[in-house]
Amino acid sequence: MTENTEKGRILLALTGWSPDVWLEELGKIAPERPVTLEPDGASDPSIHYAVVWKQRPALLAKLPNLKAIFSLGAGVDHVFGDPDLPQVPIVRVVSPDLTTRMSEYVAWQVLDHHRMGPRYRAQQASRIWDEDRGQRAAADITVGIMGLGELGRDAAAKLRGLGFKVSGWARTEKQLDGVACYAGADGLGPFLASGDIFVVLLPLTPETRNILDRSLFARMSKRGPLGAPVLINAGRGGLQNEADILAALNEGLLSAVTLDVFQQEPLSPDSPFWTHPKVTITPHAAAASVPSSLIKPMVQQMNAHDRGEKLINLVDRKAGY
Ligand code: NDP
Ligand code: OXD
């Protein structure tokens, strides 16, 4: 049987993730688009689209007829890790499924800190029954969201639904119902003074790298009902200075952290984060990319692009997200 390559091939270029589930879904949704796994197809002129997660550097530059790159994640820092990235459009994941998963994670972790989950788990481990009637109302707590994009906006709305006060910070000015919005360098100070629990849903870009450092923690309010603030980072590990987080926890600049992402993943078995009593760790599991939700809209975009229609959810290469 000869393959119908009229529509062009897809290159599936992943590192760190198994290609099997993606291959299976692509085969189901786009049988007319054969899939090539790198490195076999590294210079194949019949490849028109690349679907990538942390693709190997210089791989895509060798494809003479590449029309667009599809990131398997909402974040695209992994795509920009390639210094020889060709000048074709980059499409990122914007999906109700991914957004819902992230908002579940944010609500789970915010509620866990708000309802003293870490404390009760420690009490359980030591068989301590201490009722502590000092539970606060959600309305007494302000959750500050760093990043008011697709994920941050949905998380903000859901946290409001749970009764929390919500503030948010973005690069550009926003108006969101019931959310105190701050923007840019001028807005950062008042934003940091506004919150008790901070949720980070920023992309990793040259501007945001290492933004979560000691100087930022020092600007967060210590006068709220939780005393020192709580930090929840579900954005990227490159946003955080990990030595500064540990020092801030030990000095009381932060009262607790939840980290889903790390500078180095997987987190090293020697990391002091594993055993720190004020640290909750999840293994980059806040919002998984799921083939059954993501491949169909991706292939629809390839078909639309082949018909001459515009791609959506494009990455701004200059801004880096
Ligand atoms: P978006 O691009 O939709 O939103 C990004 C937000 O960050 C925007 O509000 C943007 O501002 C803001 N921002 C960017 N740069 C700056 C800056 N220099 N200063 C202030 N604000 C800034 O992204 P998503 O919401 O879809 O995703 C956010 C990130 O979440 C991803 O980039 C990824 O790293 C991470 N992620 C993590 C997952 C996990 O499992 N842990 C899963 C999925 C995503 P503006 O609105 O003005 O443009
Ligand atoms: C993403 C991720 O960016 O899974 O989507 O981290």
Instruction: Give the pLDDT score at 213.
Output: 98
Instruction: Give the pLDDT score at 40.
Output: 66
Does the structure show a pLDDT above 70 at 225?
yes
Contact 153, 176 (CB under 8 A): yes
Q: Measure Cα distances from 235 to 28, 29, 163, 230 in Å.
A: 31, 30, 24, 15
Query: What is the distance in A from the centroid of ligand 2 to the CA of 127?
Result: 38
Distance, C-alpha 291 to centroid of its chain: 17
93 within ligand 2 shell (Cβ under 6 A): yes
CA angle 198, 117, 164 (to 5 degrees): 40
Query: Residue 43 — very low, low, confident or very high, per pLDDT cuts 50/70/90?
Result: confident
171 within ligand 1 shell (Cβ under 6 A): yes
Q: Which helix (H) or strand (E) holds 306?
A: helix 291-306
Q: What percent of the chain has pLDDT over 90?
A: 93
Give the Cα separation of 259 and 242 in Å (integer): 10
Contact 102, 201 (CB under 8 A): yes
Q: Considering only CA atoms, which residue is closest to atom 4 of ligand 2? A: 73
Chain mean pLDDT for the chain: 96
Instruction: Give the pLDDT score at 41.
Output: 67
Query: What is the distance in A from the centroid of ligand 1 to the CA of 37?
Result: 29
Instruction: Give the pLDDT score at 5.
Output: 52
Give the Cα separation of 79 and 66 in Å (integer): 15
Burial of residue 293, with CB atoms counted within 10 A of its CB: 0-12 exposed, 13-18 middle, 19 or more buried: middle
Output Rg (C-alpha) for the chain, integer angstroms.
22
Instruction: Give the pLDDT score at 2.
Output: 43
Kindly list the catalytic residues.
236, 284
- Whose structure tokens read 């530059």? 61
Does the structure show a pLDDT above 60 at 4?
no
The model carries a pTM of 0.97
Query: What is the distance in A from the centroid of ligand 2 to the CA of 291?
Result: 13
Give the Cα separation of 174 and 156 in Å (integer): 13
Q: What is the DSSP letter of 228?
A: S
233 within ligand 1 shell (Cβ under 6 A): no
Does the structure show a pLDDT above 60 at 1?
no
